[in-house]
Amino acid sequence: MRWLPILTIVLALPLANCASTRPATYLVETKGPYQLDTGDTVRVSVYGDEDLTDTYRVDDSGAIAFPLVGPVPVRGGTTKMAASRLAAALANGYMRNPDVAVEVAEYRPFFIQGEVGTAGQFPYVYGMTVRSAISVAGGFSDTADRNKAIVYRRQGNQMAKGSVDLDFPIYPGDTIVVQERWF
């Protein structure tokens, strides 16, 4: 009879892990507004001046080469910040009270490698997850780990790495690595 409480505890311990409801945590940041970077294409609308309204690519230095004012730095800023910087540059001797709007026309690509059909660089679509990125890359290979992947994401001046599940949201510029499964 003395072994009955010990047996109950031993049998209950594996079940305790099943009841855990702690949220998944990731080393890569998933919150915050979208920040512009090299490779993004933005649509700039300057109200009242159709000649300046066009699409522009963010160059390697993180700036938009804008007519009349030259390069305007936008890397790390939101579209609202980019519109404000462009309006300030235009207001500096070129236009009175410029009204500028900026929106992302085309996101920079994401990269995927490892155990997928076709590794490489692919166009990003807003709201993508690791699962949809794998689908774009031709699906899993026969030897792929089909439960998780590793995501590398630039955060400031550092590269963050996290092991994530397949429903983890990805961003433009992310690198996804699908590893081989081990039995």
- pLDDT, tens digit, 9 for 90 and up, residues 8-32: 555 555 555 544 444 444 555 556 7
Residues 91 and 146 in one domain: no
- Tell me what pLDDT residue 44 has: 96
> Domain boundary residue among 57, 91, 106?
106
The total domain count for the chain is: 2
CATH of residue 168's domain is 3.10.560.10
Evaluate whether residue 58 is within a structural domain: yes
Evaluate whether residue 66 is within a structural domain: yes
pTM over 0.85: no
Confidence tier at 91 by pLDDT (50, 70, 90): very high
Distances (CA, A) of 78 to 85, 103, 106: 11, 9, 14
Task: Convert the pLDDT of each residue in 76-86 to its tens digit.
Answer: 899 999 999 99
Evaluate whether residue 23 is within a structural domain: no
> What average pLDDT does range 100-106 have in this prediction?
95
Lowest-pLDDT range of 48-52, 102-106, 110-114: 48-52
Evaluate whether residue 3 is within a structural domain: no
Residues 54 and 88 in one domain: yes
- Tell me what pLDDT residue 81 has: 96
- What is the per-residue DSSP string for 32-97? S-----TT-EEEEEETT-TTT-EEEE--TTSEEEETTTEEEE-TT--HHHHHHHHHHHHHTTT-SS
Evaluate whether residue 148 is within a structural domain: yes
> What average pLDDT does range 155-168 have in this prediction?
88
Residues 88 and 139 in one domain: no
- Tell me what pLDDT residue 127 has: 87
Residues 123 and 170 in one domain: yes
Confidence tier at 115 by pLDDT (50, 70, 90): very high
Residue 61 structural domain: 41-106
Task: Convert the pLDDT of each residue in 36-83 to its tens digit.
Answer: 999 999 999 999 889 999 999 999 999 999 998 999 999 989 999 999
> Domain boundary residue among 89, 106, 123?
106
